[in-house]
Amino acid sequence: MKRISLGLATLLACASTYSADIPLYPTGPEKDSAFLRFANGTRSELKLVAEGSKASLVLGGDKLVSDYLPVSGGSAPVKGVLSLEGQHSDLAVTVAPGEFVTVVALADAKGGIRQVVIHEQPDDFNALKASLAFINVDATCADASLEAVAQQAELFKKVAEGAVQRRMINPVQLSVQLKCAGAPVGQPLSFGLKAGERYSVFALPSATGSRLLFAPDSLAN
């Protein structure tokens, strides 16, 4: 089996860190282009094996979110198999043309894999500001909110489990606090934003309570 390592940054893996010369998934005509990424919401290593190419993607350690990969948009689902701690889960997700989709893999209560699929149709761009999304995939965090600590400003509020909110924000260094049902949960998370770039903050479940994960919304070259 040929393998594509962490941080997949191009369909035809050509950088020195990649060992495959085949795409993870085929792409369609430019007008049908769509984008798909994967996020590992667990503390263990997650592996995806794509149907067809049999190329694979591994997410773990300090790389938990892949780049957005171009895929063929339309009615045919993108298929593969997700593996986590010896458990396997079939993947079949449909991505509409022009859509950006994130598949978040979580451990379920029975030790299997739960998939949460987040759909976005981004239409915002501002070269002077950054675009920040808040994605809640933690079923234990009711009315999830995200507060800018220094500014004492609520950036996002009452985001349901499985939902996403996005907004434009000044390109600054931020420290954010997760709140569940209005109460602070866990430690603040700090990160920097650049003008003209897109980012996501995920609210994730864990054995020790809700936690935050920050990732740039990078496109595969």
Q: Give residue-wise pLDDT tens across range 22-38.
A: 467 676 666 578 999 99
- Give residue 175's pLDDT: 97
**What are the chain's domains?**
30-120 (2.60.40), 130-216 (2.60.40.1120)
Q: What are the residue ranges in the chain where pLDDT is below 70?
A: 1-23, 25, 27-31
> How far, in Å, CA of 120 to CA of 181, rounded?
25
Length of the chain: 221
- Give residue 31's pLDDT: 55
Order of strands across the sheet that contains 183-192:
153-159, 144-148, 173-180, 183-192
